[in-house]
Amino acid sequence: MPSMRERGVLLGLFVGLCGLGAQRALAPRDLAERVLRSGASLNDVAREHPPEQAGSFPAAWVHGADCASDPLIQVHAYNEDLYVLRQSKCATFEAPFVYLVFGEERALLLDTGATADGPLWETVEGLVAQWLERREQGFVELIVAHSHSHGDHVAGDGLFAGRELVSTVVTLERPGVLAFWGFEHYPDDAATLDLGGRVLDVLGTPGHKDDGVTLYDRRTHLLFTGDLVYPGHLFVFTPEEWPDFVASLRRLVAFAAEHPVEHVLGCHVEMGAAPRASFAYGTVRQDDEHPLQLDADVLLRVLEAAEAMGETPRCEVHDDFVIHPVFAGGIRWNG
């Protein structure tokens, strides 16, 4: 977490923007409620505090339109120290996004995709080699960890195990996962991962999966939400996990009130560009996709939508996401 001084600065500016009064003593739940009720904009917080290092997104991602010529993995440099990779829809309809984040001493590969084969290792190894060469640096340690342990995010782990470059492939067993991140009281405490001159905050965000985390990059202000929030089907699988889902959303809203969030980045895209256009889960060809990146205020929109359901969660299509409690009955499946 940032120092108290940094927190105070952010909080002070946020309070100045939104006129909410001192929030420091509030629990995430109460702070999230306060932000929701105030009509405050998390986008304003981000706008007032540009990140140290900005980046860009491609005009389009591979989306299953041309399986003869699409690369199996599309690589995009968000900036020179952060890469976004997308697995082709032609290789797996899940087409997950994978993130490679470089610090001075360590690089983090967040997720390994949905297939046990394919060129992910070679792709990442090449990016690391390029990065080292550009910096005239001899070595960087590669850590392989996961947004959560669903199969479409961990299937490529075996490609990385035992490689000299790779110091850690984080286990899929929950106690080991939580210990790796440094949680003692998951999900209520927060942790950090220091890549060397670059610190990521690690928030416990169960609801979609009981080992889910959200990472915040203090350098770019990107928030990596895994499958909890993204432009697609926000799956919650059991009634028992629904309160966790809502609590995680509150945690993220409270966090984004105190830390500028430039973009919310999940691991899939399953929405079209037009409002409320959702692709059925399992769709391979997704012409005219929604962009991957969402603005910070999406956290408020998802929380508001989930809270409005009260005790009766149900499938509900919104402009840029679908609340999809699987236990309440599906909407459209195509897989």
Contacts with Zn ion by CB under 5 A lie at 150, 152, 227
Nearest distance in Å: CB 29, Zn ion: 24
C-beta closer to Zn ion: residue 150 or 198? 150
* Cα–Cα distance, 199 to 190 (Å, whole number): 13
CB distance 241 to 234 below 8 Å: no
Determine the angle formed by the axes of helices 28-38 and 298-308, rounding to 10 degrees. 100
Nearest distance in Å: CB 278, Zn ion: 15
Instruction: Tell me which amino acid residue 15 is.
Output: V
Nearest distance in Å: CB 146, Zn ion: 10
CB distance 330 to 234 below 8 Å: no
CB distance 299 to 256 below 8 Å: yes
* Cα–Cα distance, 83 to 206 (Å, whole number): 25
C-beta closer to Zn ion: residue 217 or 227? 227
Tell me how far CA of residue 241 lies from CA of 107, 236, 259, 301, in angstroms.
32, 7, 26, 19
Nearest distance in Å: CB 147, Zn ion: 8
Instruction: Tell me which amino acid residue 319 is.
Output: D
Q: Which residues pair with 190 in a beta bridge?
A: 203
C-beta closer to Zn ion: residue 46 or 323? 323
Nearest distance in Å: CB 149, Zn ion: 8
CB distance 281 to 332 below 8 Å: yes
C-beta closer to Zn ion: residue 152 or 297? 152
Nearest distance in Å: CB 94, Zn ion: 6
C-beta closer to Zn ion: residue 97 or 131? 97
C-beta closer to Zn ion: residue 260 or 266? 266
